[in-house]
């Protein structure tokens, strides 16, 4: 049985500027995931440094800092069974040319640096990233999606 998980997703400045917010949100909603927090915000250099601390010192770090602060992002918390890996599958590989056909990055991106969307790579990263962008009171999961029992019923399915 898969665990119910939360993951952090950001539509990056290129995704927002290109008018892709709706199309990207639809991918997650269509899968049956629940969006339990969401906001449009300007990433400050301080937030960017916290978020991407693991990339400090890498050749692309300065460009990544410039890019992620170059306009607003849409930050969200997505909830669902096995959501960390499931969302990454929908998002696709970091390099859009290696991303599975039909994934967001394969469909909308050409460059590794401007890859439209970010998604946490593990439950631990998700918890860390969610805490950077959201206060606990900004996360609303006290509502039931009409799809909940249809897309994944803990009591009935094993896989
Ligand atoms: P993201 O999933 O947000 O995680 C780190 C980001 O750094 C990544 O998406 C890309 O935008 C960028 N990135 C990762 N690897 C490279 C790379 N080799 N060259 C340029 N940018 C990269």
Give residue-wise pLDDT tens across range 44-61: 999 999 999 999 999 999
Burial annotation 44-68 (CB, 10 A radius, 16+ → b, else e): eeebbbebbeeeeeeeeeeebbebb
**Which residue out of 62, 115, 118, 121 has the highest number of ligand 1 atoms within 8 Å of its CB and is therefore the one to mutate?**
115
pTM here is 0.94
Residue 148 has pLDDT above 80, yes or no: no
Nearest CA to ligand 1 atom 2: 118
d(CA 44, CA 8): 18
Question: pLDDT tens, 23-40?
Answer: 999 999 999 999 999 999
Question: pLDDT tens, 71-114?
Answer: 999 999 999 999 999 999 999 999 999 999 999 999 999 999 99
Is residue 51 part of the annotated active site? The answer reads: no
């Amino acid at each position: 049985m898969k665990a119910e998980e939360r993951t952090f997703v950001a539509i990056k400045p290129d995704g927002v500027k290109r008018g892709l917010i709706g199309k990207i949100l639809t991918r997650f909603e269509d899968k049956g995931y629940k969006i339990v927090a969401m906001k449009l915000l300007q990433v400050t250099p301080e937030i960017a440094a916290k978020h991407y601390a693991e990339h400090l010192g890498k050749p692309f770090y300065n460009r990544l800092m410039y890019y992620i602060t170059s306009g607003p992002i849409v930050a969200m918390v997505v909830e669902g069974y096995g959501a960390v890996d499931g969302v990454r599958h929908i998002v696709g590989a970091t390099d859009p040319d290696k991303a599975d056909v039909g994934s967001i990055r394969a469909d909308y991106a050409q460059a590794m640096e401007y890859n439209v969307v970010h998604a946490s790579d593990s439950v631990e990263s998700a918890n860390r990233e969610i805490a950077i962008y959201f206060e606990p009171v900004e996360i609303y999961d006290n509502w039931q999606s009409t799809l909940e029992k249809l897309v994944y019923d803990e009591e009935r399915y094993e896989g």
